[in-house]
């Protein structure tokens, strides 16, 4: 999937005023995250932030310019370095170009314009590189619809719906509990459709506020210092001929959801709803709530409900698909081996039985974590039951034999689901049919705890 993370830019400039001046103008690009430093030493001490671009004034570098650039490239050879020089420092800048400098810009009245264009070119090249890497990774994965059908009856019933979704450009709503495989199915629909050679872009609505969500989806107009207005494409425009997958779309602000509905309506014409915007982005939505609950709880309007309800796919829980667990586990083993460039491993019969007998409150996400740990722990080509661990979650037998009060049992259940949902209070309250305020009260009283979520630096491809 294409990254939506902002591009990080280090500005290294000893002149405080000019430092702020560059940060202001470069920062007009909403895709950039700006970090300002007074000297190269400060920038190098923060290189762990992993900037994509570093702009540096070569004047304060003097004799150490070559050493600084070598340290940057040693830390990450993919960092794009742009030198800014006074006219009398051009020979020095040209000499440093041999160290794989991306470009140099002369400090004059047009510096910010040149920087703007150069940085935009770098960002576009990074996006293109990420797209190529994504396509190469996709080539190593199989998204055969027969594998989706697998062995379970509840999944086989979904195959006709999934096949129809691959043959049309109509938007699709995929529902199911967190970790039930919604993002995996969205990717499968994309790769089985005629759009598979184009972009598959994912955004998570839960990470966005009102203005950010609108700008990210529909784009925005940016005014440059000369008064020139340019349009910054949104994800709907970037996904032309491809697919835009919006996770947890119900968390979008209501105004953004209404604009999204207008956009979806505009793609179709006539009573038969024939798709007319053949080059437009195909939209796939996901939610942990069913379409009926989305409407009942007023996350979507009646018009949105009537529009999307006929084109919904509801994924069953993994614990209701026992016959699929071994097949999905084997797929995760293959994915891990491809990602880590390792040899494939085999599940022993006893390991398969241990996986099948576990109830997965965390659904696919939990099974994926279990398999990744097993791949790391197993010292041979065979994964045995001793390599399978379930993060200390209580088994049914152990849970029922513990001596606790009713309140303690209740708190344990809430804690268990809260941990399985990575601390997501909203989803936990919906699963257990209790109020969010009840969970927050228990947290405040320290009867349950909210674990800090760990941010993964690895990409999420198949399972949310």
Domain limits for position 127: 7-131
Residues 241-287 have pLDDT tens digits of: 899 999 999 999 999 999 999 998 887 654 445 555 556 899 999 99
Q: Are residues 302 and 331 in the same domain?
A: no
Q: Which helix (H) or strand (E) holds 81?
A: strand 80-85
Residues 49-81 have pLDDT tens digits of: 889 999 988 765 555 777 888 888 888 888 999
Percent over 70 (pLDDT), the chain: 82
Any domain includes 228: yes
Any domain includes 461: no
Q: Are residues 288 and 356 in the same domain?
A: no
Q: Are residues 311 and 372 in the same domain?
A: no
**CA-to-CA distance for 263 and 265, rounded, in angstroms?**
5
Q: Are residues 200 and 277 in the same domain?
A: yes
Nearest alpha-carbon partner for 360 in 331, 319, 300: 319
- Phi, psi dihedral angles at 2 (to 5 degrees): -80, 135
Q: How far apart are the first and last CA of the chain?
A: 12
Q: Are residues 276 and 382 in the same domain?
A: no
Nearest alpha-carbon partner for 308 in 374, 264, 365, 259: 264
The number of domains in the chain is 3
Q: Are residues 438 and 375 in the same domain?
A: yes
Contact indicator for 150, 209 with CB cutoff of 8 Å: no
Any domain includes 464: no
Q: Are residues 372 and 247 in the same domain?
A: no
Q: Are residues 271 and 123 in the same domain?
A: no
User: Partners of 55 in the beta sheet?
Assistant: 11, 82
Q: Are residues 62 and 171 in the same domain?
A: no
Q: Are residues 274 and 327 in the same domain?
A: no
Residues 318-346 have pLDDT tens digits of: 777 787 888 888 888 988 888 888 888 99
- CATH code at 211? 3.40.50.300
Any domain includes 458: no
User: Partners of 7 in the beta sheet?
Assistant: 32
Nearest alpha-carbon partner for 355 in 344, 340, 345, 366: 366
User: Partners of 8 in the beta sheet?
Assistant: 33
**CA-to-CA distance for 151 and 131, rounded, in angstroms?**
33
The domain boundary, picked from 293, 316, 339, lies at 316
Any domain includes 459: no
């Amino acid at each position: 999937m294409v990254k939506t993370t902002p591009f990080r830019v280090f500005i290294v400039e000893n002149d405080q005023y000019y430092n702020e001046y560059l940060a202001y103008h470069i920062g007009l690009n909403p895709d950039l995250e700006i970090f300002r430093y007074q000297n190269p030493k400060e920038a190098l001490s923060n290189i762990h932030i992993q900037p994509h671009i570093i702009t540096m004034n070569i004047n304060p570098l003097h004799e150490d310019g070559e050493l600084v650039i070598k340290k940057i490239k040693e830390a990450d050879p993919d960092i794009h370095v742009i030198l800014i020089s006074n006219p009398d420092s051009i020979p020095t800048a040209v000499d440093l170009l041999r160290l794989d400098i991306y470009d140099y810009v002369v400090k004059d009245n047009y510096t910010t314009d040149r920087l703007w264009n150069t940085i935009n070119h770098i960002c576009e090249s990074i996006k293109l590189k990420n797209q190529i890497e994504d396509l190469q990774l996709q080539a190593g994965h199989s998204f055969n619809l027969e594998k989706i059908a697998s062995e379970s009856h509840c999944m086989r019933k979904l195959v006709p719906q999934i096949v129809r979704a691959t043959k049309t450009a109509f938007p699709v709503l995929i529902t199911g509990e967190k970790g039930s495989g919604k993002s995996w199915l969205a990717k499968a629909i994309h790769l089985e459709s005629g759009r598979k050679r184009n972009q598959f872009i994912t955004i998570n609505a839960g990470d966005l506020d009102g203005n950010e969500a609108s700008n990210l989806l529909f784009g925005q107009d940016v005014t440059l210092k000369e008064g020139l207005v340019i349009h910054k494409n949104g994800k709907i425009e970037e996904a032309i001929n491809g697919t835009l997958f919006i996770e947890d779309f119900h968390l979008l602000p209501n105004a953004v959801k209404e604009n999204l509905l207008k956009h979806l309506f505009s793609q179709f014409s006539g009573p038969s709803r024939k798709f007319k915007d053949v080059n437009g982005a195909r939209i796939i939505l996901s939610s942990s709530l069913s379409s009926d609950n989305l409407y009942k709880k007023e996350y979507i309007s009646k018009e949105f409900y009537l529009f999307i309800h006929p084109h919904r796919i509801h994924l069953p829980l993994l614990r209701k698909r026992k016959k699929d667990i071994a097949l999905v586990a084997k797929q995760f083993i293959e994915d891990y081996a491809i990602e880590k460039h390792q040899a494939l491993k085999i599940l022993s019969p006893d390991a398969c039985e241990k996986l099948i007998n576990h109830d997965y409150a965390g659904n696919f996400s939990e099974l994926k974590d279990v398999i990744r740990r097993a791949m790391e722990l197993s010292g041979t080509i065979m994964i045995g039951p001793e390599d399978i661990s379930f993060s200390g979650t209580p088994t049914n037998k152990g849970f029922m034999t513990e001596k606790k009060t009713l309140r303690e049992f209740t708190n344990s259940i809430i804690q268990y689901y809260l941990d399985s949902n990575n601390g997501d209070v909203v989803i936990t309250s919906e699963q257990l049919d209790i109020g969010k305020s009840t969970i927050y009260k228990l947290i405040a009283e320290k009867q349950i705890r909210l674990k800090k979520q760990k941010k993964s630096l690895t990409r999420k491809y198949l399972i949310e």
